[in-house]
Amino acid sequence: MKGKRVLIINRGEIAIRVAKALNELGLISVGVWTDNETEPPHLEFCQEWVRLEGANNKDTYLNIPRIMKLIDDYKIDGVHPGYGFLSENREFSEALRNKGITFIGPNPDAVYKMGAKDISKQIAKAAGVPVVPGSTGEVGSIEEAIKIGNEIGYPILLKAVAGGGGKGMRPCANESEVKTNFEAVQREALSSFGYAGLLVEKYILNPHHIEVQILADRKGNVYHVFERECSVQRRHQKIIEEAPSPFIGNDEAVRKEICETAVKCARAVNYDSAGTVEFIMGEDKKFYFLEMNTRIQVEHPITEEITGVDLVANMIKGAFNQPLDFQSQDEIRIQGHAIELRICAEDPISMLPAPGKIAGFETTFPQGIRFDHCIYPKFTITPDFDPMIGKLIAKGFNREVALRKIQNALDGLVIEGIKTNIALHRVILNEENFRKGKYSTNYIGTVKPQDKVTPKEDLSAFMIKIAAIEQNGAKA
């Protein structure tokens, strides 16, 4: 495996993370730069740089023919897609397999089956995995959606078959809302994913979003690396994650059941890489299969922190048919608690993206803090990409210690020149329900921590005020 050339078809903090793992394993990390991002931070960590011609995502990170040409031109042995872009694209993984190039991700069949929400739900059900009541396949009309809603009871969720990232989803409390929302969700699904198909599911009230990390190799071994809780979300997109789940807490029977169920689900599609089986869990701790993400997740660091398992390195080793760092499930254990905050270039009150140029960036962290990021002073955040610019991670002996550490770390993170959600995170970390671990996916909508965010004083005005105070002090 050593000396093989691996192309990273991604950018930002995940490209940095992958490059570090490749370098550690003795492989040659090959990073890309594009015409609209000529000096991306991840190139500093890559051993070679190549140009991916084009000035937008369609022409670059999503352009399979152009990427395949790069593979030929630079004699690439393997490709790591990170997350997003082509990470869950069956056509891409098949094209690589047909050329004899190692795709550092699951086999194309698993990508296809678990990427289609209707098919994945059918597979999960056939494997004995509990699924949310609802349609078994795509729903073709408003009338059919209303019929299913009447059968399973309202509220229901209209959900894009090919969805992800919180898009193409809308709850409906009654028949009237189904009529109002059905075509709107179809349009959103078509615009976001190129396919308008919808599912209907029972909408679980006050649910918890619990996901189980899977790590499998190409020799038939499938392991779980325990669970994460991702219930603090805005627009169905996660902003805070914890491992292990504070809702499951010390209920080891539930933890064992959900983790073993995730393994069962992965085995049903002969899974052979890193991936995540996502569940929705009700207040009674009954859980239901939601979907499977056939890639490395944004929030993978907290699992690494509590288990010591390097998920990215093992994902790479498995893809090249090398043994994983462990040989049995019993070797993987939980030690401590970890919390991750997604640091985003967005308004902390409206939570909408706020691109711009970073004027200042400083960190003064307590011991043991991890900050996976892709920024530096004068770096420009553009609207071309996701607004997440970094992930702040803290591990503690228990949740109380982890909370203390992450709070101190947040106070030591200074990003000037752009709006960020740091102020929102600060409010949430001090909010009573969150501190007690009593929150669901409705947290942002019901507790409304954004309403308690104090708008940040303009930096220049602040500096003028400080100068005036100092001058007046000198005169006195």
Indicate which residues carry an active-site annotation.
295
CA nearest neighbour of 422 among 410, 407, 434, 435: 410
304: left (phi over 0), alpha (psi -120 to 50) or beta: alpha
Report the alpha-carbon distance of residue 191 to residue 398 in Å, rounded. Answer: 43
Sign for the CA dihedral angle at 456, 458, 463, 467 comes to negative
User: Can you tell me the distance from the alpha carbon of 213 to that of 259, in angstroms, rounded to the nearest whole number?
Assistant: 8
Please state, in angstroms and rounded to a whole number, the distance separating the CA atoms of residues 149 and 383: 38
360 Cβ contact list (under 8 Å, min separation 6): 377, 414, 415, 416, 417
Distance CA 392, CA 170 (A): 30
Question: How far is Cα 115 from Cα 197, in angstroms, rounded to an integer?
Answer: 13
Structure tokens at 127: 């494997």
User: Could you give the 3-state DSSP secondary structure of residue 170?
Assistant: strand
DSSP 194: S
**Do 31 and 8 contact (CB within 8 A), yes or no?**
yes
The SS3 of residue 329 is: helix
The position carrying tokens 């996660």 is 238
